[in-house]
Amino acid sequence: MQKFILDLVERTVTTYAAAFLGLLLADKFDLTSMGALKAAAVAALPAALSVVKGAVATRVGDPASAALLARPRE
């Protein structure tokens, strides 16, 4: 379970960071504008979807991973 949690946290944080930085770059990287706060809020949406995908992945793929890859053969 701990491996799954760490995997999911890593995927969520990297998704949030990528979305946030992408939105900041599209807004000319002005951290002092209201657009930066909106970018931070909007970037939370893909990160939340990453958590949902990780939860679904435990039913479809390997239960110890947040990936949708096939379960390992035993």
Q: Residue 13: its pLDDT value, please?
A: 92
Tell me the Ramachandran region of residue 46: left when phi exceeds 0, alpha when psi lies from -120 to 50, beta otherwise: alpha
Q: How far is Cα 74 from Cα 72, in angstroms, rounded to an integer? A: 6
Sorted by where each begins, the domain ranges of the chain are 2-58
Q: What is the pLDDT of residues 16-60, one digit of tens each?
A: 999 888 887 777 766 666 777 788 888 889 999 999 988 888 888
Tell me the pTM.
0.72
